[in-house]
Amino acid sequence: MKTIYVDNAATTQVSETALNAMLPLLKDTYGNPSSLHHLGQRAKEVLEDARERVAACINAEPREIYFTSCGTEADNQAILSAAYNGAKKGKKHIISSKFEHHAVLHTLEKLKAEGFEIELLDVYKEGIVRVEDLKAALRDDTALVTIMYANNEVGTIQPVKELAAVCKERGVTFHTDAVQAAGHIKLDVKDLGVDMLSVSAHKFHGPKGVGFLYCKKGVPLQVFMNGGAQERNRRAGTENTAGIVGLAAALEEACANIDKNSARIASYRDKIINGIKDIELSFVNGDLENRLPGTVNMCFEGIEGEGLLLLLDQKGICASSGSACTSGSLDPSHVLLSMGVPVEIAHGSLRISLSEYNTEEEVDFIIESIHEVVAYLRSISPVWEKILKGEEIK
């Protein structure tokens, strides 16, 4: 059976380019960049070269890039740093959105337990934060606003540039979790006007376990890991040189091909959206215009997401019911609930996240399989007949 991988929002296959860039760091240039001998210094050169290339991809300066062990770490570092710096000035109010990734939401919960006041903005049916809501929520004691660039479950894109501008006007630090956006849509930190931005390599065909935080010069960044002097004293620990080089290669490759790839991927996404339109009581979650090229999240009434995924998997299709972090638990997605999807319908969600490695043939097979599996599950469902008649389900 052929594997059809459409769970790219969870993680991606490492590209040939990234893999080939990494191998020499593992085999030959294995020195510690902090060592003074030639092998260490060679590794250091490679590391700093990667930092320059990464910075160029997002129009930042090399010294504004801090490599981390993942996107989660970059989110933690950004949020905790801005929160604690704010607290020093008596500012303990933080604004975010209801459908952030758990890397953000759980960090905010920790801060709440420490006495910070957390306010989560509504994302509405469209899955998009409203700029006027942010304006109304900002206070003199707001330390930080953190709003994701693109949602990982439904793919909707937030008005980051406008949100950042509002924060700038009020002198409030603005962070965005751009893990789903980087490599998929163009990112220019100067144009966006953000203070901090998180990225993870494994969401754009780089390796797992490496990411970076962009932190604009002049924005204070607290130490996240204590130890050596790596990453300009902000994040101790021997650098993951192979991972960092893989990240740089994958990001460059993704950015160079962004227009070409996103046009084709978006056409596949739209083919899927159109292809499932005729399935009764089914719908696509979130705004149809402002979304990532590759992500589509659908709900089918009267169906359990788990059953749907297992049957698709039997056909070789690797998809998801939403976040990889919550799949396996029976709780419906906090993202769909925040968008007003009723609990019983949120249980029947399916996320397809495409990459440039997918083919049109695969897309056709996916559409056909969804039709088949949904029809089968409904045929054995005890509640489907009632739903069709519009009776209340208890």
Residues of this chain that bind ligand PLP (CB under 6 A): 70-72, 75, 101, 103, 148, 152, 177, 179-180, 200, 202-203, 211
Three-state SS for 295?
A: strand
Cβ atoms within 10 Å of 99's Cβ, excluding its own: 30
Nearer to ligand PLP, 197 or 341 (CB): 197
CB of 390 to ligand PLP, least distance (A): 37
211, 186, 208: which is closest to 70 by C-alpha?
211
Minimum CB separation of residue 321 from ligand PLP in Å reads 15
The residue written with tokens 């919960």 in the block is 109
Residue 318 DSSP SS3: strand
CB of 249 to ligand PLP, least distance (A): 17
Would you give the DSSP letter of residue 329?
B
- Strands of 131-284, DSSP E: 142-146, 173-177, 196-200, 211-215, 282-284
Which residue has the closest beta carbon to ligand PLP? 71
Distance of CA 373 to the CA centre of its chain: 28
The least distance separating ligand PLP from the CB of residue 8, rounded to whole angstroms, comes to 10
Catalytic positions are 325
DSSP assignment of 211-241 equals EEEEE-TTS----SB-SSSTGGGTB-S---H
Q: State the nearest-atom distance from the C-beta of 123 to ligand PLP, in Å.
A: 14
Select 105 or 276, whichever has its Cβ closest to ligand PLP: 105
Of 149 and 384, CB closest to ligand PLP? 149
d(CA 65, CA 219): 12
Of the pair 183, 302, the CB lying nearest ligand PLP is at 183
Cβ nearer to ligand PLP, comparing 138 with 265: 265
